[in-house]
Amino acid sequence: MYVLAAVFNLNHPAHTVDWSFVHLSVANVIIIGLMVIVFVLALLLPFPGAAARRAARDGGGS
């Protein structure tokens, strides 16, 4: 824990992103960005076995 505390110095006021009335901490902006990236990946990445299931369904004639 103390090693991590040395790597990430938290002994300062939060860095923020300011744009008009929008006032967000950098930490929150990073989290929101990560959520958007994961969401896009969830849409784009093929789900394991999905293609095989579709092929089985279409091949089965149902």
Phi, psi of 3 (to 5 degrees): -65, -45
Using the minimum distance from each CB to other proteins, give the nearer residue, 16 or 39.
Answer: 39
Q: How far is the CB of 20 from other proteins (least distance, A)?
A: 22
Kindly identify the residues of this chain, within the stretch 27-46, that bind other proteins according to CB under 8 A. 31, 34-35, 38-39, 41-43, 45
Interface segment toward other proteins; rule CB under 8 A; list 7-15, 17-25, 49-57? 49-57
Token pair listed for 22: 């929008």
The answer to whether the CB of 17 falls within 8 A of the CB of 27 is no
